[in-house]
Each structure stands twice: as structure tokens, then as C-alpha cells.
A and B are shown apart, each in its own frame.
Chain A
Amino acid sequence: DIQMTQSPSSVSASVGDRVTITCRASQGISSWLAWYQQKPGKAPKLLIYAASTLQSGVPSRFSGSGSGTEFTLTISSLQPEDFASYYCQQSNSFPLTFGEGTKVEIK
């Protein structure tokens, strides 16, 4: 199975800050990585797929990069509605696996 390791597990940041979350795969997954945002009590929401493609309707302050085993999600200027948990997911092969999540909290 492909293990996905996310870091940090939590980050405290202020509105306007740039935030970067890293996801590492235990083996190469090409560009088959997705990022999701989840707010408390809500379903996950797809932000980025294929490592760097922004899902329709997602603000351009979100961006993704990487390939192979190392990937990043960047929020260029944190907005109040961005305080949430973020998960990476490898979409390369079964079993599909998620990272442990990163909680973005208000500083």
C-alpha cells in the first residue's frame, strides 16, 4: 500500500499569511494526487486534482505542485473561510490512501 505522510499536522496562521502543506508518498505516484478541504461537520471538498489542476470554482489562491513522491498545497493569502482541515489523497492505485490531515488554525 502507498503511505501518504502529511506535514505539518497543524499550523497556526493569520489572515493574509502564505501557508504551505506538504504530502509525501511512500512510492512514486506520478501526478496522481488530490487535495481536499474539510470544515467541521461538513463533507470534504475537492480543491486540486492531478497534483496541480484547480477544481472548478476553487479560488486561485489555492495551488498545488509536485510529482513523484513529494507534493505541496499552497494557500497564497489565507482568508477567514480557509480555516479548515486539509487532506491529500493518492489517486494512483488501490487501495486509495489519504494523508493524516493538516488543521489550519487561527493564530
Chain B
Amino acid sequence: EVQLLESGGGLVQPGESLTLSCAASGFTLRNFAMSWVRQAPGKGLEWVSFIYGNSLATSYADSVKGRFTISRDNSKNTLSLQMNSLRAEDTAIYYCAKKHTNAYYSFDYWGQGTLVTVSS
């Protein structure tokens, strides 16, 4: 059974850093591209970042480019999101998601999310 479990969320002040992790099980992580998607309280879904299975290519939303870094450790079945210079508008539930086997950039499994709150 595919499972994704996010961790690392919490309350931070503006300008601080935080690293999110996503532990994957039930599939071979290195064979799949992965993504982070966030959802601000009461709002819709916003794609954040994407990484291919071989880590050779990544992509970011303009809203986080230069501040967030996605990475993966296939040997530990873990996806990460390093978030620097956090802003109030980064407050959201952050989900990790697995790219669908048969489709371009859609996501067939999602974690339950971890809440990041940026506030002074």
C-alpha cells in the first residue's frame, strides 16, 4: 500500500527557515517524480515544486523560487522541502504527492499534509 507521511511543520516567525519531510512507503521512490502542493487556510490548492525521480531536474512556482529547495534521498525513501525566508503568505498545509504512473504531471497519491504557520 502506497503511503506518504509528511512531517516537520510548525510555527515559525517571518524570515525563518523550516524543512519538511515526506516519508514514502509501498513503492520505489526513485522510480517516481514527486511534488509539493500547498493549501492556505480556507483556500484552494497551489502547486509548489516538482522533482524528477533521478533528481536531475526540478521546477518551482514563482512564489517560492529562490527561497524553497526540493530534494530527495531515494536510499531513505524521503522527499524534502527546505523553506527559507518564510513569509506570512507561506502559511498553509503542505502536501507531498506522487506523480501518476501513466499521466503527465497529475498525482495519484497524497500525504495527509503538515501545517506550516508563519507568524510573529
Contact = CB atoms under 8 A, between A and B. Distances in A.
A43 B111 contact: yes
Contacts of B55: none
B52 to A, nearest CB: 12
Contacts of B78: none
A91 B44 contact: no
Given A89-B106, A95-B59, A46 B100 contact: yes
Interface in A1-59: 1, 32, 34, 36, 38, 42-46, 49-50, 53, 55
B62 A95 contact: yes
Contacts of A101: 44-45
Nearest to B107: A46
Interface string A74-107: 0000000000000101011011111111000000
Nearest to B93: A43
A55 B108 contact: yes
Q: How large is the interface on A (under 10, 10 to 19, 20 to 34, 35 or more residues)?
A: 20 to 34
Contacts of A49: 100, 102-103, 106, 108
Nearest to B100: A49
Contact of A94 (B59, B106, B107): B59
B89 interface: no
Contacts of B105: 32, 91-92, 94, 96
B47 interface: yes
Given A43-B110, A46-B107, A87-B44, 10 more contacts: A44-B107, A44-B110, A45-B110, A46-B108, A49-B100, A49-B103, A50-B106, A53-B102, A91-B104, A94-B105
Interface of B: 35, 37, 44-47, 50, 59-62, 95, 100, 102-108, 110-113
Which 3 pairs of residues, A with B, have the shortest CB-CB distance?
A: A34-B106, A43-B110, A91-B105
